[in-house]
Amino acid sequence: MRADAVRNLEAVLTTGARMLAADPGASIAAIAAEAGVDRRTVYRRFASREELLAAIYEARVEAIERAVEDARLREAPVAVALHRYVEGIIGVNRKWPVELARMKADETIRDRRDALIREVDAFLERSTGEGLLRADVPAAWASSLLPQLMHLASQQLPELTDAQAADMVVDTFLRGLGGR
Amino acid sequence: MRADAVRNLEAVLTTGARMLAADPGASIAAIAAEAGVDRRTVYRRFASREELLAAIYEARVEAIERAVEDARLREAPVAVALHRYVEGIIGVNRKWPVELARMKADETIRDRRDALIREVDAFLERSTGEGLLRADVPAAWASSLLPQLMHLASQQLPELTDAQAADMVVDTFLRGLGGR
DNA sequence: GGTAAGTGCTACATTGAAGTGACAGTTACT
DNA sequence: AGTAACTGTCACTTCAATGTAGCACTTACC
């Protein structure tokens, strides 16, 4: 693919992610206009709206997979892994702010998302076992609170770097659910 | 208005709220079907889709206003007011789960929402002043975290009553951001 | 029981977005 | 410089959802 085409593709994907996060019903015409390309150009890369969405969600899920891998949730000390994970996801949230939960259509992406959730849940379980989190907190509560905190930090603290925002999230999370 | 008509109206509003929360693009036909009435009946009460949405958002914002009033955020002891407020909002979230932020069209509702946000922000400031919350936490962080926790508890802890879910939210919130 | 209010149903016009085709013009790469 | 890749534009078709009209029918309420 030609270099300018790559740039256009990149623009459509990131702009699309941003606009779809703000309004899940954003039209292809609107996304294309915002990305600075013609509506027709989008249809040359993607056969349908669904395919464009799938590509965007795929970009996000892949970025998350990379972040999870980098955090080494299974091996690294829990406190270290937690911070690395949070920092990574905040970066992902800022580049690909779409909500993955909306992707009900694509089987593959849903499966990869489920696997990631299991991975993080297992990590939280390990964290509880090692005393980082209190044992009397429902697993579902910890499991859903962490993504929300990361989501919040990603957009509510725009002046902070990923690492600084991660500090805030980890601090709140551990004070809120952590052991003494 | 006749009693059966009132029931239908109620059904359309609550069902609409539930469906629009799950999918903001839900069609009037889908909402009507789910509520057990004909699409045409909806159009007899509401001149347009926008009016239906406005009615739903209005129901939510009014319920929130009532909860805020009941919590007596200005006068009651901060710890008491916080719990009453959280419990009330969780009830509202469960009945009217739509996201108020999406309502950009209606000027009135946006203004009322802004006033409510100011009210709660002022309460959080008072809480900080009285030592319930740590002073080194950014106001924006506390201000956005609390609604997220309530939102989370409303749907992630369905087996808990409003009061029990509020316990969880307040505990997490105060441990996370509270003073010693 | 009678009446007015309310509903369901079929049909229709309108609008906006999705998706496609053809063609001329531009731009990156060799 | 020449070619292939890429893009923008105009012009369609299709489709789903919005919004409207009229009529037969049911049901709450006096």
pLDDT in tens, A39-61: 999 999 999 999 999 999 999 99
pLDDT on residue B129: 96
Q: What is the 3-state secondary structure (H, E, C) of chain A?
A: CCHHHHHHHHHHHHHHHHHHHHCCCCCHHHHHHHHCCCHHHHHHHCCCHHHHHHHHHHHHHHHHHHHHHHHCCCCCCHHHHHHHHHHHHHHHHHHCCCCHHHCCCCHHHHHHHHHHHHHHHHHHHHHHHCCCECCCCCHHHHHHHHHHHHHHHHHHCCCCCHHHHHHHHHHHHHHHHECC
Angle formed at CA B139 by CA B134 and CA B140, multiple of 5 degrees: 135
Phi/psi of residue A20, each to 5°? Answer: -70, -30
Q: By C-alpha distance, which of A54, A167, A53 is closest to A108?
A: A54
What pLDDT shows up at residue A179?
A: 60
CB B116 within 8 A of CB B101: no
Do A145 and B149 make contact, defined as CB atoms within 8 angstroms?
yes
Q: Is the CB of B35 under 7 A from strand C?
A: no
Q: Which of A57-66, B116-125, B171-180 has the lowest mean pLDDT?
A: B171-180
Which residue from A40, A18, A57 is spatially nearest to A28, judged by alpha carbons? A40
On whether the CB atoms of residues A176 and B175 are closer than 8 A, the answer is yes
A24 interaction partners in chain B (CB closer than 8 Å)? 24-25
Question: Going by C-beta distance under 8 Å and a sequence separation of 6 or more, which residues neighbour residue B105?
Answer: B50, B53, B54
Contacts of A176 in chain B (CB under 8 A): 172-173, 175-176
Closest residue to B141, CB basis, from A24, A25, A156: A156
Q: Cα-flanking dihedrals φ and ψ of residue A59, to 5°?
A: -60, -40
Helix, strand or coil, per DSSP, at residue B41: helix
The pLDDT of residue A46: 98
Tokens 């009322």 map to which residue? Answer: B112
Gap from A172 CA to chain B (nearest CA, Å): 5
CB A150 within 8 A of CB A167: no
Show which residues on chain A lie within 8 Å of chain B, measured between beta carbons: 23-25, 138, 140-141, 144-145, 148-149, 151-152, 156-157, 168, 172-173, 175-178
Here the tokens at position B71 are 């919590």
- Interchain proximity A145–B168, CB inside 8 Å: no
Residue A180 has what pLDDT?
Answer: 52
Q: Is the pLDDT of residue B104 over 90?
A: no
What one-character-per-residue DSSP string does B57-98 give? HHHHHHHHHHHHHHHTTTTS-HHHHHHHHHHHHHHHHHH---
Sign, Cα dihedral of A110, A92, A70, B142: negative
Residue A40 CB closer than 7 angstroms to strand C?
Answer: yes
Distance B5 CA to D28 C1' (A): 10
Res B103: pLDDT: 86
Intervals of chain A under pLDDT 50 = none
Q: What is the DSSP letter of B102?
A: G
DSSP state of B104: -
| Residue from B97, B84, B66 nearest B167 by CA | B84
Angle between helices B49-71 and B107-129 (to 10 degrees): 20
Q: Which two tokens stand for residue B28?
A: 């009037």
Chain B CB contacts of A178 under 8 Å are: 175
Q: Select the residue of B144, B157, B177 nearest A156 (Cβ to Cβ).
A: B144
Could you tell me the distance in Å between the CA of residue B55 and the C1' of nucleotide C23? 50
B165 → chain A, closest CA residue:
A141
Entry pTM: 0.95
Structure tokens at B156: 């992630």
Measured between CB atoms, which of A25, A168, A176 is closest to B24? Answer: A25
- Judge whether residue B28 contacts strand D, using its CB and a 7 Å cut-off: yes
In this complex, the residue of A141, A172, A175 whose CB is nearest that of residue B168 is: A141
Q: Letter for the amino acid at A36?
A: G
Residue B102 is predicted with a pLDDT of 86
Position B105 confidence tier, pLDDT thresholds 50, 70, 90: confident
Residue B179 has pLDDT above 80, yes or no: no
Q: How far is the CA of A25 from the C1' of D14 (A)?
A: 20
